[in-house]
């Protein structure tokens, strides 16, 4: 009996070591509720200094934080907006030295009740740390399937076919024009939340992630964002020029996501993530 127990303990320890190595460096699962649950867990449970938070939608979640800064965390809310990510981070008491905010859907009204419930549903207990959702074999297996499928698609499908798929997906999404009234109110709420961080010493920068041209932000939305967040107060992260392919018009492919993450890391002061993290 004792050898069996010893073997079980050794297996569990090996699994824990494996997921501790894998999980912090891997993007959350691109599967709706699973991704959001993992994001909430990481915010509440991971022992990082959170010098850099990159906040936004599921588009942000694709960015590899290992290329941004040591200890950086992506708060990418699937089906949500940067406003929801900011609320989730503030609900868990995080106050980063640099907050990089995705501006793609910043003017979209959002429902914050989901973020409050998600935060409350992630206790900081020892038991939860040992059996958190992200570390469970079922979650890791799903993540492996997703990543293997992505690798197979990149190897088997031609670039021309991927670009055709990207365009079809972008056409299916379509560009949605914001209503100026609700959009302005949404921006005012985000500005108020970010001003709290700024008042506590956080540097807040905006970044517009690349998307398919069919999904580019409208001129009205761009004017509203620029007026609510002037670049003299909220500096922009400049991204490299050149093609930035996506899988579906919105979510960056692996290499493009890495280039964007590196651009955030190498951004000019005061947005430099590496400088803020003291690296």
Q: ω before 270 within 30° of 0 (cis)?
A: yes
Q: Where are the domains of the chain?
A: 27-276
> What was the pLDDT predicted at 1?
62
> What was the pLDDT predicted at 161?
86
Q: Give the model confidence (pLDDT) of 72-90 as tens digits.
A: 888 988 888 899 999 989 8
Under 8 Å CB-to-CB from 189, ≥6 apart: which residues? 83
Query: By mean pLDDT, which of 9-18, 33-42, 176-185 is the weakest?
Result: 9-18
- Give percent of the chain above pLDDT 90: 31
> What was the pLDDT predicted at 118?
66
Q: What residues are paired with 56 via a beta bridge?
A: 76
> What was the pLDDT predicted at 24?
45
Averaged confidence pLDDT in the chain: 80
For domain 27-276, which CATH number applies: 3.40.50, 3.90.660, 3.30.2010, 3.10.20? 3.40.50
> What was the pLDDT predicted at 38?
78
**CB-CB neighbours of 86 under 10 Å:** 29
> What was the pLDDT predicted at 174?
78
Under 8 Å CB-to-CB from 82, ≥6 apart: which residues? 55, 56, 57, 60, 101, 102, 103, 105, 106, 190
Q: Give the model confidence (pLDDT) of 168-215 as tens digits.
A: 888 888 777 888 899 999 999 999 999 999 999 999 999 999 999 998
| Residue 19, pLDDT above cutoff 90 | no
Q: Give the model confidence (pLDDT) of 76-132 as tens digits.
A: 888 888 999 999 898 888 889 899 999 998 998 876 666 666 665 565 554 555 566
> What was the pLDDT predicted at 50?
63
Contact in structure between 76 and 100 (CB atoms under 8 Å): no
Mean pLDDT computed over 128-152: 66
Under 8 Å CB-to-CB from 261, ≥6 apart: which residues? 63, 64, 65, 67, 68
Q: Give the model confidence (pLDDT) of 219-263 as tens digits.
A: 999 999 999 999 999 999 999 888 899 988 999 988 999 999 999
- Give the integer Cα–Cα distance in Å for 204 and 97: 9
């Amino acid at each position: 009996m004792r050898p069996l127990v010893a073997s079980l303990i050794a297996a569990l320890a090996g699994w824990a070591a494996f997921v501790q190595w894998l999980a912090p460096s891997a993007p959350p699962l691109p599967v709706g509720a699973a991704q959001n649950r993992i994001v909430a867990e990481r915010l509440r449970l991971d022992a990082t200094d959170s010098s850099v938070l990159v906040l936004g939608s599921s588009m942000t979640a694709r960015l590899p934080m290992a290329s941004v800064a040591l200890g950086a965390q992506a708060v990418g809310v699937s089906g949500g907006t940067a406003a929801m990510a900011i609320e989730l981070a503030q609900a868990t008491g995080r106050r980063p030295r640099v907050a990089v905010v995705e501006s793609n859907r910043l003017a979209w009204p959002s429902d914050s009740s989901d973020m409050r419930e998600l935060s409350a549903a992630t206790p900081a207990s020892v038991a939860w740390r040992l059996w958190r959702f992200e570390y469970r074999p079922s979650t890791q297996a799903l993540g492996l399937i997703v990543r293997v499928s992505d690798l197979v698609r990149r190897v088997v499908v031609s670039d021309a076919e991927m670009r055709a798929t990207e365009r079809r997906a972008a056409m299916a999404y379509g560009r949605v024009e914001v209503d100026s009234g609700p959009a302005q109110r949404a921006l005012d709420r985000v500005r108020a939340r970010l001003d709290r961080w700024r008042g506590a010493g956080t540097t807040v920068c905006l970044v517009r992630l690349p998307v398919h041209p069919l999904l580019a932000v409208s001129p009205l939305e761009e004017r509203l964002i620029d007026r609510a967040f002037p670049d003299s107060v909220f500096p922009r992260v400049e991204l490299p020029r050149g093609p930035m392919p996506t899988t579906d018009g919105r979510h960056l492919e692996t290499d493009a996501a890495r280039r964007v993450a590196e651009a955030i890391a190498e951004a000019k002061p005061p947005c430099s993530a590496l400088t803020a993290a003291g690296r």
